Structure 1
């Protein structure tokens, strides 16, 4: 082959490769590196406080890989939405992990690999919900997190949420039903954390809090019991969830006060009612957004799917083909996308 023809052939090959593998315009992990917890703040690789913003999947059994999550959907999450982090919500019951561990582990593996390629931080969410006692799923949690850290523990973009929303009561040894309080959650955490630390010794671990991860505000306790008996060690955070249409000033005040004493990550929130449905209250949601920006509290919105409820950002029928922005967005989707793209 003549030199000119050879050069042209190489150039065409390179252009074809570039077209097939577009260079990402954003890479949150490359920008900020491994995370750490300093005092009450989540910090980047330099030790500076950082606010991550992102989206949660819906339950993988309904809206997982190949449905609401595809390569194109993740591309859009990084570029069109400006997300830093994807929360991968694996329900334990409700037709989730309990029903087919192998199937769901394989799906999580795929999502983690694909999100990591795109420079996203990934929050591994053990989405225990009903029953609300995390101890009910202790052995399953150990099994799941053992696999995750053996397969992905060397990925510094991973964070771990070990109990989504502790709630309700459990049957104690004396035969009486007792509330799932902080002591119960802490006992669970102290058994699961070593499993994660064995394969991911420096990763950030986020621990659920009483009464649906409300820091106890939804019950009759509040965060004081956590203040009095915090987790020992490094790189731990505490979960706070809110739904702005139901959770107003008392919840915001609790978040404001608690974030002065504890490192808090809002791993789930919506502008709707606590069911993830109903009308949006953007005024209340904006008050939360302002508070979290001021305090540099990282947040993840619920949810990146086309479920019929108002809390899902896409109109039904959008997935799996998209598009992932514009006319396919519900009212909440348009609003949350705007908030995620705001200058930090």
Structure 2
């Protein structure tokens, strides 16, 4: 999309480890296009299903950038709703890489917490959730490198696509879009695109033959250029993007026709009804020309974009959005109640009028014979289906875990779909739809610690002695019913760790509505992990609740006085403070080391303070606080410069030898393998990496205080960074990539 934005925010779930959701266990829960076509391949100018060799026609939506505005829609509930209500066959994961600039520039950087370059694990985790959603809904997902300068990001793109194609090598749902919209501003002509593709595509082909789609010059408007000088690989399609109010079918449709005539397929992975900037009123007649053209030529396509019109992050508006309003729509109820924009009404009509019965398609030609019956749907809570099976026939279910046959009934065991094969060879499809579950206010997987901090899946809270019995508690709800209206019970399976009951809230921290009222609380008894089971009867529209939640209670984080800090002190100096004997929170005895040794000739601990010798020195003093009954162990290092000038220190070799083997930080010290080569040449930091990945450079002054931090993605090989501009003085540089590091001393003169 031709759009320049600067959004900020924190990517939902970015702190989760990569691939935590684990799509590998997912199974299709609905009959959809993937079960029908299988993985997508190409044959001449057609995109076909590897399962049946039929030409695949897909219609769907692109999600907005995977940034603060778009992230809320990267949600399995949203995808499931869109499949059921908009009848999408495919959706596009528009992964923000590093920059928004539609001209290929670097002025508008995506917030690092939301970009692949800045937070790769967050994106990989969210991709896994979306792949799982695609599998369960039996639709396709396009994993899109959403960049206008991908050919300048070849190294990290190659690593990314190698990683995800290996992870999903056996997942037929996945389509790889390796370049969103090349532009001339970044040098993205076809030569640069082809050179990039010829490096990235083989990384995918080492793992899978799934369809790869490639962006084309000038914001992906020239698929014919790809057809004239094709990528040297199999199963490649070339991309066209259009916005109907800017790009007429008469002006740009010929580019598609030229590619098709040359024998190469086209995928329209992004199109809109509005202007190319996403704004302006939709052009219904121009849109109709394009949709007719796509349908006539069977060109798979995705509309931009599934979001609300006005961002709830930066309040910017896009009339190409499907939904009106300024609030993210992340629940089925909110989506059901949503108002569509003018563009959204056009898109909804286009998608729904072309909806297909994939259940019927799956058994086309096989749904005949005396044992066959029409595709049947029931709810997860119905228990069984009667009156459907034919008398005198026996049936075999494709998945007894979803539905099995008992006598003349179909027994419902879970939600999903099955094919029942009759003894006459006929096949019929049964779909069991999921019934919504129930929830209890504030009850999720929760971790609390002794220092009162609690974190759950969606919020933070506090553990306080709310009921005055001397132990910490976590508040849930005053209600005795689920949010959906059914009376619930809560049972702890580990009462020695956590109990749960309704108790009077007496603490001043109780809300006014809760003060001196009965409130459901978790009561922490000891450290560990407990299971709490929530049960509630089924009610209209919602299945019974029998959910287990994980509740953790851990020790707290200890503290040390702020007077223990980096400082310059005189020779022959005494201080009554600065090296406390015990921690603040746990009152735990503290031991100290001086440049890694138990004692120093240059300073000694005196009571709660210290005394220095008559010689100038520099000392890294490390406070070690052991684990106690209620607090975790803690290590903190600070630097003392005795005499005030580190360049005069008599023990510089001792100090630098120590810190070059140790990470000085406000957190536990960790020894890491020195496996990066690094050196200084004037003001140039030169280093060599063994692998592609994020490299972090931390620069400390003689006090051990951080003066500069840098990070970027570097490929395998040698690199240089100019540190010109730092004030004259002595510095320690620590360069890290993954578990590897190098550290060196540098004097800038």
TM-score (norm 2): 0.39
Distance 1:25 1:157 in 2: 13
- Deviation of 1:318 after TM superposition, in Å, equals 4.5
- Please say if residues 63 and 69 of structure 1, whose CA atoms lie closer than 8 Å, have aligned partners that are also in contact: no
Q: Which residue of 2 aligns with 1:191?
A: 199
Residues 62 and 259 of structure 1, relative CA distance in 2, 3 Å threshold: farther
Distance 1:228 1:336 in 2: 33
- Please say if residues 144 and 180 of structure 2, whose CA atoms lie closer than 8 Å, have aligned partners that are also in contact: yes
Corresponding residue pairs, total: 302
Worse overlay, 311-320 or 240-249: 311-320
Provide, for residues 117-142 of structure 1, a one-character-per-residue CA deviation record: whole Å limited to 9, x for no partner: 1111111101012xx3x221111101
Provide, for residues 219-258 of structure 1, a one-character-per-residue CA deviation record: whole Å limited to 9, x for no partner: xxxx3x4343212332100000000000012112322333
**5 Å matches for 1:76-115?**
76-93=81-98, 94-95=110-111, 96-115=115-134
- Please say if residues 272 and 280 of structure 1, whose CA atoms lie closer than 8 Å, have aligned partners that are also in contact: yes
Q: Which residue of 1 aligns with 2:210?
A: 203
2:306 to 304, 307, 315: 304
Is 1:319 the counterpart of 2:329 in the alignment?
yes
- Please say if residues 198 and 232 of structure 2, whose CA atoms lie closer than 8 Å, have aligned partners that are also in contact: no
Distance 2:335 2:227 in 1: 42
Q: Secondary structure at the match of 2:81?
A: helix
Q: Which residue of 2 aligns with 1:14?
A: none
- Deviation of 1:326 after TM superposition, in Å, equals 6.0
Q: Which residue of 2 aligns with 1:54?
A: 60
- Please say if residues 68 and 306 of structure 1, whose CA atoms lie closer than 8 Å, have aligned partners that are also in contact: no
Q: Which residue of 1 aligns with 2:141?
A: 122
Return 5+ residue gaps in structure 2 as ranges: 1-27, 99-109, 311-317, 357-749
- Please say if residues 29 and 136 of structure 2, whose CA atoms lie closer than 8 Å, have aligned partners that are also in contact: no
1:215 to 222, 225, 231: 222
Return 5+ residue gaps in structure 1 as ranges: 1-22, 171-178, 217-222
- Please say if residues 89 and 126 of structure 1, whose CA atoms lie closer than 8 Å, have aligned partners that are also in contact: yes
Q: Which residue of 2 aligns with 1:253?
A: 254
- Please say if residues 318 and 328 of structure 1, whose CA atoms lie closer than 8 Å, have aligned partners that are also in contact: no
Distance 2:41 2:227 in 1: 20
Worse overlay, 43-52 or 322-331: 322-331
Q: Which residue of 2 aligns with 1:37?
A: 42
Q: Which residue of 2 aligns with 1:273?
A: 275
Q: Which residue of 1 aligns with 2:156?
A: 140
Q: Which residue of 2 aligns with 1:18?
A: none
RMSD between aligned residues: 1.9
- Please say if residues 306 and 318 of structure 1, whose CA atoms lie closer than 8 Å, have aligned partners that are also in contact: yes
Provide, for residues 275-325 of structure 1, a one-character-per-residue CA deviation record: whole Å limited to 9, x for no partner: 111110111011010011111011000111114211111122141235335
Give runs of ≥4 in structure 1 deviating > 6 Å: none
Question: Higher relative contact order by CA 8 Å / sep ≥ 6: 1 or 2?
Answer: 1
TM-score (norm 1): 0.83
Worse overlay, 106-115 or 181-190: 106-115
Distance 2:139 2:81 in 1: 12
- Please say if residues 57 and 63 of structure 1, whose CA atoms lie closer than 8 Å, have aligned partners that are also in contact: no
Residues 325 and 39 of structure 1, relative CA distance in 2, 3 Å threshold: farther
Q: Secondary structure at the match of 1:317?
A: coil
